[in-house]
Amino acid sequence: MSEYDPKELLRPVFPGLEEVDLAELASAAEIHSYPPHTVLCREDEFGDTFYLIVEGRACVSKYLDEENPRRILHWLEPGDFFGEIALVQGGSRTATVDTEGPITVLEIHRDALVRVLNRSAPMAIHMVLRVTSRLRDADQTAIEDLRRINAELRRAYHNLERLDQAKTDFISVVGHELRTPLTVISGYANMIRTAPAVREERNLRMFSKGIITSIDRLQAIIDSILDVSRIDVAALEVRKVPASIIVLIKEVEAHFRTTLQERSLEFQTQGLDRLPFIMADSDLLYKAFYHLIVNAIKYTPDGGRITVSGRVIRAEDGQDAIEIVVEDTGIGIDPEHHELIFEKFYQTGEVMFHSSGVTKFKGGGPGLGLAIAKGAIVAHGGQIWVDSPGHDEEALSGSRFYVRLPLTEWSEAKFFESG
């Protein structure tokens, strides 16, 4: 015979319940003992049992995700009960309950509990109130947790803002500090290159050329760093004048003509000659298309093709715009990187494996080009994005970078009429 009296255990749980109903519940009750770490209720499973803790403790928890598989809600002590929410709602368990150590519980099957509930309105109301109170407590706990998490997120965001500003300031200062000595070095290097002794000695000519080439590359990196720092502080000055997209693209193509020939890369343009002039900052747009095209060169194997096409479209907002697409037959970009590649210093692949040549296949770089391109396009009120099915160095699925720039009422025809 059990040492526990089910009727007396149930009395404080259901105060005011008629003795006959209390006796019926007690007769249907069973006392069970379980070892530590036993799952009594599992979240999302249907249950048909009401539990009352007699001795021991139980933990109520919920599953969050694979990284945080368990969140403890609260602990249950002797006299606490659980399982009533699923019985009242006729649904699945809302949480998992498992034992901390040895535990003894009183269990009542759903049928017996429902029979008594149907006869006793006060008891049914009492159960509903208890369920409501349990839900309200859970909601309050969740609200407090959200408040705490939001406060932590605000602090973390504030710290990140401060760190990002400090990094931006550092980049700007370093860029300016490097530019001055580099200008001096460049001047001396050019003086050395023109010296008679250097012009007459083949090795010295080769060495001086290597020095100047490296200086030019370092200068380009410093200029990119300064451009990014201006983008970060929204200090880009957009000086708009009538600009021709095809002229800008042809200038970029001319800059890379030697590289394109050396690597047997075909460079095509389509529809650019039919684009109207736009009001834009030619220098900023040149930088944007320079970085987009050098990116296409970098990730297209020798013998591939780069195509720059353009057309006038009606954008989603109903306004006219020009759309330029820089398409390559390169190795492509995984969709998970499509947004991140426009962030400064972000690079796909292993940086340590990148070659030192900016225009070599999978060549290295500081990871600033696409960030500069985006900053320049956004400064014009435009949009930039990439479309690529994925990274594949065998299939060479390629990438397509889209640039949209708004058109004003001013057009090519009006420009020539006014001229």
6-119 to CATH, choices 2.40.160.60, 2.60.120.10, 3.30.230.10, 3.40.50.2000: 2.60.120.10
CA 167, 171, 173: angle at the middle one, nearest 5?
115
Q: Which of 320, 332, 319, 302 is nearest to 392 (CA)?
A: 332
Helix segments in 299-399, DSSP class H: 369-379
Smallest CA-to-CA distance from 10 within 60, 50, 57 is with 50
Taking the chain (419 residues) in consecutive chunks of 10 residues, what is each chunk's mean pLDDT?
81 84 89 93 86 92 72 85 74 85 92 80 65 65 76 83 69 68 81 82 83 78 69 68 94 93 94 93 91 92 94 85 95 89 68 52 70 89 93 90 83 42
- The answer to whether residues 55 and 103 touch, using CB atoms and an 8 Å cutoff, is yes
Q: Do 322 and 310 meet the contact criterion of CB atoms below 8 Å apart? A: yes
Nearest to 58 by CA among 70, 41, 45: 41
Residue extent(s) of CATH 2.60.120.10 domains in the chain: 6-119
Q: From 329, 208, 318, 321, select the one nearest 268 (Cα to Cα).
A: 329
For the CA atoms of the chain, what is the radius of gyration? 36
Q: What is the DSSP string of 202-215?
A: HHHHHHHHHHHHHH
Give residue 272's pLDDT: 94
130: amino acid identity, one letter: R
User: Where along the chain do the CATH 3.30.565.10 domains lie?
Assistant: 241-418
Protein fold of 158-232: Helix Hairpins (1.10.287)
CB 315 within 8 Å of CB 323: no
Q: What backbone phi and psi angles, to 5 degrees, belong to 111?
A: -60, -45
Structure tokens at 17: 């319940």
Tokens describing residue 301: 């194997």
For 241-418, CATH gives 3.30.565.10
Please give the pLDDT value at position 351. 45
For residue 41, what are the contacts with CB-CB under 8 A and spacing of at least 6? 47, 51, 82, 83, 86, 93, 95, 96, 97
DSSP letter assigned to residue 276: P
Please list the residue range(s) of the chain that carry CATH number 1.10.287.130: 158-232
Cα 97 vs. chain centroid, distance in angstroms? 35
pLDDT at 405: 94
Measured CA distances, 258 to 109, 178, 209 (Å):
84, 29, 16
3 state DSSP class of 82: strand
Question: CB of 73 within 8 A of CB of 61?
Answer: yes
* pLDDT given for residue 216 in this prediction: 77
Tokens 């006014």, residue located: 418
202-205, Cβ contacts within 8 angstroms, sequence gap of 24 or more: none
Cβ atoms of 408 and 323 closer than 8 Å: no
Distances (CA, A) of 327 to 104, 255, 290, 365: 70, 18, 14, 20
Torsion of CA 142, 148, 149, 155, to 10 degrees: 170
- Per-residue burial over 20-57, b if 16 or more Cβ lie within 10 Å, else e, is ebbebbbebbebeebeeeeebbeeeeebebbbbbbebe
**Three-state SS at 317:** coil
- Tokens matching residue 241: 């004048």
What's the pLDDT score for residue 233?
47
Between helix 121-194 and helix 202-232 the angle, nearest 10°, is 150
